[in-house]
Amino acid sequence: MKSSFKALAAIMIGLLGSTAQSVALAIPFTESFDSNTANWKDVASIDLTHVGAGGPDGSGHVSTELPFTSAPTGSSVLFRGHDAFNSSGDAFVGNWVAAGVQTLAAYVRHDAPEPVDFFARVATPANFPGVIFSGPAPVQPNTWTLLELQIDPTSPLVTVEGPPGNFNAALSHVGNVQIGARVPPALAADPTAYTFDLDAVSIAVPEPACGLLILTAAVVGVLGRATHRR
């Protein structure tokens, strides 16, 4: 009987310890850009433009301009949150694998004349290896759209740079979060500098409280049955 109590107590202590660790990682986190650019930059490492209103909820957001002719490879990074810039106070920097990060999301908008595919790239501080997460659908013009990306190596929307093991290599040492767009074929030769907007970049993990409460209830039930049998 005593050994059962000790084993169950050890399980609870371990769970409480892991939960405390998750809380210490300050996740979930959302960069709202309400008052400034939070040290996010554009593809050339130049400060973004901060816009004080007009975001998805009416508050501030960040913006940049880019002609598609400046993206000869067919895609371009638009927004960069980097460890070297202290972007968002390095809130996105660290071990996403250990933290259990499951989603990366952001609101995006553009004023190009046709839908545009967006993506996110997450990489180490040295910028390699990286993992590219493609948006599930094109973003329509002039409409704030939630880009919600699953951190799942089995997803067909995920591209790992290099061998498959680089997924964990990049995600366990994140120092660079980039959000960009792919060039629509019909606009590849268009020199117009279109405007791209970003707001509410966030990472999230599963809520630990729910699972902990379920397991706590199960442990209490086991203890109760053991006490009853005694």
Report domain extents, the chain. 1-19+207-230, 28-204
More confident residue, 31 or 22: 31
Question: Would you call the peptide bond into 56 cis, given omega within 30 degrees of 0 as the criterion?
Answer: no
- Long-range CB contacts (within 8 A, 24+) of 163-166: 166/129, 166/130, 166/131
The candidate with the shortest Cα–Cα distance to 95, out of 162, 21, 19, 200, is 21
Average per-residue pLDDT in the chain?
Answer: 84
Q: Coil, helix or strand for 165?
A: coil
Which pLDDT tens digit goes with each residue over 27-62? 899 999 999 999 999 999 999 999 999 999 999 999
Percent of the chain with pLDDT over 90: 77
Query: Over 90: is that where the pLDDT of 211 sits?
Result: no
Give the angle 82-84-88 at the CA atoms, nearest 5°: 50
Q: What pLDDT score does 26 carry?
A: 65
Q: What pLDDT score does 20 carry?
A: 33
Evaluate whether 169 touches 120 at the Cβ level (below 8 Å): no
Average pLDDT on 119-147 reads: 98
β-pair partners for 41: 47, 80
Tell me how far apart the alpha carbons of residues 96 and 151 are, in angstroms, rounded to a whole number: 9
Average pLDDT on 187-212 reads: 85
Average pLDDT on 71-89 reads: 95
Residue found under tokens 């660079």: 176
More confident residue, 21 or 156: 156
68: Cβ contacts below 8 Å, ≥ 6 apart: 76, 112, 183, 184, 187, 188, 189, 190, 192, 194
Relative orientation angle of helices 2-24 and 208-229, to the nearest 10 degrees:
170
Query: Over 60: is that where the pLDDT of 25 sits?
Result: no
Average pLDDT on 169-196 reads: 97
Q: What pLDDT score does 141 carry?
A: 98
More confident residue, 225 or 191: 191
Evaluate whether 218 touches 226 at the Cβ level (below 8 Å): no
CATH topology of domain 28-204: Jelly Rolls (2.60.120)
Least confident of 71-80, 87-96, 136-145, 215-224: 215-224
